Amino acid sequence: MNSPTATPEWEYAPAPERFDPGIKDRYRLFIGGRFVASRGRKTFETINPATEAVLSRCDEANSEDVDAAVAAARAAFRKWSRTKPKERAKYLYRIARRIQERSRELAVLETMDGGKPIRESRDVDIPLVAQHFFHHAGWCDKLQYAFPGATDPRPIGVCAQVIPWNFPLLMLAWKIAPALACGNTVVLKPAETTPLTALRFAEICEECELPAGVVNILTGAGETGRHLVEHPDVDKVAFTGSTAVGKRIAASSAGTGKRLTLELGGKSPNIIFADASIDQAIEGIVQGIWFNQGHVCCAGSRLFVQESVLSEVIAKLERRLRTLRVGDPLDKNTDVGAINSGPQLATIQQYLTEGTAEGATMHQPSTQSLPDKGFWCQPCFLSDVQPNHVIAREEIFGPVLAVMSFRTPEEAISRANDTRFGLAAGVWTDKGSKIFEVASRLQAGIVWLNTYNRFDATSPFGGVKESGFGREGGLHGLRGYLSL
């Protein structure tokens, strides 16, 4: 699969073949600038989902560890919030450069811990991580100009940040870079299945001599995240994850005075009009749903095809699916890697069973064999899907596409908007007027036109409806970390 999602602006280290990223047997929590053992002495394993091999053990932070990390962030805030903006910028530039220098090791680590193809970690995730730090380094001393009329934009304070496993280091960058640029301090919890790049990032903070306590990393499970977001001395909560957990956090934050941004789930429509360049649209569909095994919040998981080209699109999709290579994520020719965890694979399989039981037709044309070990799902799509089918309504978060058809633009718009989510949407057509008309009526935070899954640090990202609120990236993203 081509990976046109990021536009690398510099050259990277050569393709990581069998590169040893130097994983330690045991990782501790990063609190107040030091790696310390959890007070509860509990640990958990992180595995490679492509082999099921244990990669390392990490400490599981309990409520006392959360107290210590929040206290460290509070103490550091006094100084960091008053550090001259041009000095803060130097730290962010230093971190960005170090990420570039260590990009090979970070890409391998990301792929081993989470299962995504190395080509994606190397060409998309890690370059975008560096770009986020470079971009936000540039904002540090321009905040007054960013918001005309706001004479003294101030940081909010201590930020509790909780992230998911699908883009581990990239989600960290989306959270930490703007927070630090605006003068806040952070306590971040990575997902339980993908803690390793966040811990490596803690080492990078040490190397860059970031003042102690400005960034704290707590590994642990959902309970660690709950303690963190419910901590009374936290000023802002930034969460990316499922809508179910997001709703719980919104309820527990209500009335506390904490600022809150939520980036949640999606069931995004990708609409193909008959006048579109069909071959180009096929690549957009592939990119929209099979990128990162479909573990993408904005995945184009509901495909709406204009009726007159439906059979052509289905035939071409089948052909294209046969060419996707599924397997070893560390092989640079792999297109689709491993499913992130056993439970996630079970969830996907359950949806596939439900989809066919409801009457949808399964298309899984590849005859490739899959590795014996690890968690794997052949990329597939289902046709004959009805709008009320479970697979058309719920987020599957796997390499599964639901294909539906429409006759008129009006029908496409109303069916696309018939969802509780509103994260992203795609529109494929040759007609400029149709692009603007349809895009302006879609209920989605992001609308891609004749492209899909493009990300850039300068562009705001975020949802409407049950996909959350607040924006990350660009000028809009700074608002979530400032008192204006």
Catalytic residues: 263, 297
Residues of this chain that bind ligand NAP (CB under 6 A): 162-166, 189, 191-192, 221-222, 225-226, 229, 240-242, 245, 248-249, 263-266, 297, 395, 397, 423, 463, 467-468
User: How do 400-406 and 302-306 pair as beta strands?
Assistant: parallel
If the CB atoms of residues 265 and 329 are measured against Mg ion, the closer one turns out to be 329
Q: How far is the CB of 466 from ligand NAP (least distance, A)?
A: 10
| Burial degree of 61 (CB within 10 A; 0-12, 13-18, 19+) | buried
Say which entry of ligand NAP, Mg ion, none residue 165 contacts (CB below 5 to 8 A, set by partner kind). Answer: ligand NAP
If the CB atoms of residues 105 and 113 are measured against Mg ion, the closer one turns out to be 113
Q: How far is the CB of 191 from ligand NAP (least distance, A)?
A: 4
If the CB atoms of residues 185 and 193 are measured against Mg ion, the closer one turns out to be 193
Q: How many CB atoms lie within 10 A of CB 317?
A: 22
Say which entry of Mg ion, ligand NAP, none residue 113 contacts (CB below 5 to 8 A, set by partner kind). Answer: Mg ion
| Burial degree of 353 (CB within 10 A; 0-12, 13-18, 19+) | exposed
Q: How far is the CB of 154 from ligand NAP (least distance, A)?
A: 26
Q: How far is the CB of 194 from ligand NAP (least distance, A)?
A: 8
Q: How far is the CB of 340 from Mg ion (least distance, A)?
A: 8
113 binds Mg ion, rule: CB under 5 A: yes
Say which entry of Mg ion, ligand NAP, none residue 265 contacts (CB below 5 to 8 A, set by partner kind). Answer: ligand NAP
**Sign, CA torsion 325/329/332/335:** positive
SS3 category, 373: coil
| Burial degree of 270 (CB within 10 A; 0-12, 13-18, 19+) | buried
If the CB atoms of residues 327 and 398 are measured against ligand NAP, the closer one turns out to be 398
Q: Which of residues 233-262 bind Mg ion (CB under 5 A)?
A: none
Contact track, Mg ion, 30-49, x by CB under 5 A = ----------------x---
Q: How far is the CB of 339 from ligand NAP (least distance, A)?
A: 12
> Do the beta carbons of residue 450 and residue 431 sit within 8 Å?
no
Backbone angles phi, psi at 56, to 5 degrees: -170, 170
Determine which helix (DSSP H) or strand (DSSP E) holds 483, and give its type and residue range: strand 482-483
Alpha carbon distance 451, 281 (integer Å)? 8
193 binds Mg ion, rule: CB under 5 A: yes
230 binds Mg ion, rule: CB under 5 A: no
Q: How far is the CB of 392 from ligand NAP (least distance, A)?
A: 16
If the CB atoms of residues 105 and 263 are measured against ligand NAP, the closer one turns out to be 263
If the CB atoms of residues 193 and 467 are measured against Mg ion, the closer one turns out to be 193
If the CB atoms of residues 69 and 412 are measured against ligand NAP, the closer one turns out to be 69
Radius of gyration over alpha carbons of the chain, in Å?
22
Alpha carbon distance 311, 307 (integer Å)? 8
Measuring CA to CA, which residue among 398, 458, 470, 468 is closest to residue 135? 458
Query: CB pairs under 8 A, 24+ apart, for 137-140?
Result: 137/89, 137/90, 137/92, 137/93, 137/96, 137/177, 137/181, 138/89, 139/178, 139/181, 139/182, 139/478, 140/85, 140/86, 140/88, 140/89, 140/92, 140/181
In 33-179, where do the E strands start and end?
A: 34-36, 43-47, 54-59, 154-155, 158-162
| Residue range at the interface with Mg ion (CB under 5 A); choices 105-113, 291-299, 305-313, 441-449 | 105-113
Q: Which residues of 96-126 are buried (b: 16+ CB within 10 A; e: fewer)?
A: bebbbebbbbbbbbbbbbbbbbbbbbbbbbb
Say which entry of Mg ion, ligand NAP, none residue 46 contacts (CB below 5 to 8 A, set by partner kind). Answer: Mg ion
Say which entry of ligand NAP, Mg ion, none residue 155 contacts (CB below 5 to 8 A, set by partner kind). Answer: none
Measure the CA angle with vertex 238, ends 232 and 244; round to 5°.
95
| Residue range at the interface with Mg ion (CB under 5 A); choices 109-117, 263-271, 295-303, 382-390 | 109-117
Residue nearest ligand NAP, Cβ-based: 225
Q: How far is the CB of 382 from ligand NAP (least distance, A)?
A: 20
Say which entry of ligand NAP, Mg ion, none residue 400 contacts (CB below 5 to 8 A, set by partner kind). Answer: none
If the CB atoms of residues 181 and 191 are measured against Mg ion, the closer one turns out to be 191
Under rule CB under 5 A, how many of the chain's residues touch Mg ion? 3
The site for Mg ion (CB under 5 A) is made up of 46, 113, 193
